[in-house]
Structure 1
Amino acid sequence: MGESDYLADPMADSSRVLVLNSGSSSLKFALLDPHSGEQYLSGIGEALGGPEPLLTWKSPGQKHSRQLDSGAAHGVVIDLLVRDLLAGSQPAAGNLIAVGHRVVHGGEQFAHSVVIDQKVIDAIAECAALAPLHNPPGLLGIHAAINAFPEIPQVAVFDTAFHQTLPRHAYLYALPYALYRDQRIRRYGMHGSSHRFVCERAAELLRKPLRELNIISAHLGNGASVTAVRNGQSVDTSMGLTPMEGLVMGTRCGDIDPGLLLHLGDALGFSLEKISSLLNRESGLLGISQLSNDCRELESAAADGHEGAKLALEIFCYRLAKYIAAYTVPLQRVDAVVFTGGIGENSIFVREQVLHQLRHLGFHVDAKHNESIRFGAEGRITAADSAVALVIPTNEEWVIARDAAALVRPGE
């Protein structure tokens, strides 16, 4: 079955968007209705380029997996997606109107999602140095999708776009201004689609317009960031020029003394490559615990007395609580704190510890609600007389699909 078989049927009941999220050794995909968010197919190719790549996917009521040939990369997954998986998802795939791509870094060039052309591809490539673990594989996914669907519009949705509303005093570093003027070195922020989605959903739950709300959104996963949203716009965020700044993450260090980099190079003889690997892949929860970057494993080990796991979780929660407290400065009034991402949506322990450290701001956990809201559930986890904290599962795929549909079918 060829690409033309998936072109949009104007008589079909509803449009479909294929969403691709390319990592350095992975490719996540989802076929969904951009209006309802309903997913008809989703999956992931993992360990791509390695000796044992694996493709797993699910459609309503079914789960599948397939071992791929050694060295299989992004293009192989997309070929299988077109040839086999989408063909098996008919008629849902029969009205494909766009392919939406998550792109981590768009620099200052993109404040909104855009239809991809060569200028956009070139701009994404120019930003690769700012997100070396994300933009290059993102481009691999874009090129593979263009080859597979040459007649279907491709749309880029940027993690950084949501944060282009930051004021200058929040995004500029205290460096010689020429570095910003000439090189655009500044804070950009990430996880924009996630922060945007959960804030919009929080407004619905609170039954107020987003433009009237001040929200602190905490996206907590292997990558983690927290954002201050005032009247619906991002005004400060913890990630910076790259996805390394801010919170403690799975394997990334978060905030450190910049002088440490000089010490690692001058005193210990570390190369730039070794420093990059240390800060991006060997630090964070993994580095502190010397055990794992998986919060679930650390919580289990900590309960069994593992000191490294206890310390890693303590630092993670403290850093997050400190950031949330700091973001009361740009907001002044906080209508809700929102937890999302794999850790934020599921870790009873992390949410409880963080909110306990914020009790001076009026947060008091409702233990029963906190324990029950997990695994896709949403709702309030603080007491009735407390400041509001919510858990909202993120849905970046839906944001990407919505933006793609709005660009290729405006007004639909």
Structure 2
Amino acid sequence: MNLLVVNAGSSSLKLARLDAEGAVTSATTVEAWQGEGHLEPLTAFLAGCGQVDAVGHRVVHGGPRYTGPARVDEPLVAYLSSISSLAPLHNPRAVAGLRSVRELLPDVPAVACFDTTFHATLSPAARTYAVPREWNERWGLRRYGFHGLSHAHAVRRGAELVGRPAGELRIVTCHLGAGASLAAVRGGVSVDTTMGFTPLAGLVMNTRPGTLDPGLLLWLLEHGPVPPAELGDVLEHRSGLKGLSGTSGDLREVLTGRAAGDEACVLAFDVYLHRLARETAAMTAAIGGLDLLVLTGGVGEHSWEVRAALAESLGYLGAAVDAELNRATTADADISAPGVAVRTVVVTAREDLEIRRQVSAVLG
């Protein structure tokens, strides 16, 4: 099966063609994609990429209805449009991608693959918010979790790197990029995660603050007074590493400033690591221990400083990395120190391979 993978982000459109072996034969990123109706970049890519037998779309939010990959049809597209408020930066763009590709490839089967699917296995205790039950039922309030396609691949590939079945391991996967989240995995399924109803919760990220005291937000609204629209913009685009350090929020800039003695960058990195270590320990508690720590995403794959600091903070659990291997690794590898109880591996983020797996499962 030759697969077209479509990832419509908040501003860009990523396209890739995978051959029958899962190798990427063609790929492009369309910056500033204008959405539905902006067909020229898609048309150009399809003209040169070769035969396409199926399409797999990455969709951030499947809502309460879609807890697994699904064939793209009009009811699915209409439902995703109806829940745009759950992921306003991403789901409308995904719908635009679904419609655009269907216009150009009307006879090619397409499957929507959701970032929330991996966390559909959370227990009621793990997914339920302690607010009035009527609210949860009326508005579908619950912890959904995100980055599921990345976490799913990280679990499978991480287990392969240590030569053990994923189902036998207690795993914490760390998707660390501009957005960041952790997943606690036991028996091969997600038991807990750091993001919740929206992708704002959990870890400190490039421009998002992670979990905050709700009372702080109420205080800002009532006494700041900060208008809701401004508060939303600050939480999405002006917080996290960016807000603390005064940089763009890119961790590389923060590390450069930290090395130069910039106090704001020093604090930003310390806050980032403190939250990462604390949440990793919480994920470990959720699965009753830790056998394997998997790091993926741009930071997880390339920041040896973060990997070293995290492993050191988890030393009490039996984690440690080989200093030389850690500094040298930027792709799939076991970077554990010899004889440790907890293995630490780096996995290249390949959501496209997980999408391929899910498309194959749906189409047969």
* Cα deviation, residue 74, structure 1: 5.5
* Cα deviation, residue 272, structure 1: 1.4
Residue aligning to 1:396: 351
In the alignment, is residue 160 of structure 1 matched against residue 139 of structure 2? no
* Cα deviation, residue 337, structure 1: 0.6
* Cα deviation, residue 118, structure 1: 1.5
Query: TM-score, normalization: structure 1?
Result: 0.85
Q: Give yes or no for contact 1:291–1:308 (8 Å, CA) kept in 2.
A: no
Residue aligning to 1:405: 360
Q: Secondary structure of the equivalent of 2:25? A: strand
Q: Quote the Cα distance in structure 2 between the aligned partners of 1:339 and 1:292.
A: 23
Residue aligning to 2:204: 248
Worse-superposed segment, 116-125 or 337-346 = 116-125
Q: Quote the Cα distance in structure 2 between the aligned partners of 1:199 and 1:162.
A: 11
* Cα deviation, residue 336, structure 1: 0.3
* Cα deviation, residue 152, structure 1: 1.1
* Equivalent position amino acid for 1:86 in 2: L
Q: Give yes or no for contact 1:28–1:45 (8 Å, CA) kept in 2.
A: yes
In the alignment, is residue 80 of structure 1 matched against residue 41 of structure 2? yes
Residue of 340, 347, 359 corresponding to 2:303: 347
Q: Quote the Cα distance in structure 2 between the aligned partners of 1:140 and 1:133.
A: 12
Q: Quote the Cα distance in structure 1 between the aligned partners of 2:249 and 2:33.
A: 21
* Equivalent position amino acid for 1:383 in 2: A
* Cα deviation, residue 269, structure 1: 2.0
Q: Give yes or no for contact 1:79–1:148 (8 Å, CA) kept in 2.
A: no
* Equivalent position amino acid for 1:379 in 2: A
In the alignment, is residue 360 of structure 1 matched against residue 329 of structure 2? no
**Structure 2 runs not aligned, ≥5 long:** none
Residue of 291, 311, 318 corresponding to 2:267: 311
Residue aligning to 1:273: 229
Higher-Rg structure is: 1
Q: Give yes or no for contact 2:10–2:89 (8 Å, CA) kept in 1.
A: yes
In the alignment, is residue 45 of structure 1 matched against residue 30 of structure 2? yes
Q: Secondary structure of the equivalent of 1:86? A: helix
Q: Percent identity?
A: 41
* Equivalent position amino acid for 1:107 in 2: G
* Cα deviation, residue 108, structure 1: 1.8
Q: Give yes or no for contact 1:348–1:371 (8 Å, CA) kept in 2.
A: yes
In the alignment, is residue 383 of structure 1 matched against residue 328 of structure 2? no
* Equivalent position amino acid for 1:293 in 2: G
**Structure 1 runs not aligned, ≥5 long:** 1-14, 50-72
Q: In the TM superposition, what whole-angstrom CA distance separates every residue of 1:333-366 from its partner, at most 9, and x where no partner exists?
A: 3110100000000001111111111111111221
Q: Quote the Cα distance in structure 1 between the aligned partners of 2:164 and 2:311.
A: 23
Q: Secondary structure of the equivalent of 1:170? A: helix
Q: Secondary structure of the equivalent of 1:150? A: coil
Worse-superposed segment, 204-213 or 191-200 = 204-213
Q: In the TM superposition, what whole-angstrom CA distance separates every residue of 1:113-159 from its partner, at most 9, and x where no partner exists?
A: 00011111122122211111111111111111111111112210000
Q: Quote the Cα distance in structure 1 between the aligned partners of 2:95 and 2:22.
A: 25
* Cα deviation, residue 402, structure 1: 2.5
Q: Secondary structure of the equivalent of 1:327? A: helix
* RMSD between aligned residues: 1.4
Q: Secondary structure of the equivalent of 2:201? A: coil
Q: In the TM superposition, what whole-angstrom CA distance separates every residue of 1:266-315 from its partner, at most 9, and x where no partner exists?
A: 11122211111011111011011111211112111211122212211111
Q: Secondary structure of the equivalent of 1:313? A: helix
Q: Give yes or no for contact 2:178–2:206 (8 Å, CA) kept in 1.
A: yes
Q: Give yes or no for contact 1:27–1:74 (8 Å, CA) kept in 2.
A: no
Q: Give yes or no for contact 1:223–1:250 (8 Å, CA) kept in 2.
A: yes
Q: Quote the Cα distance in structure 1 between the aligned partners of 2:149 and 2:186.
A: 16
Residue of 143, 146, 154 corresponding to 1:190: 146
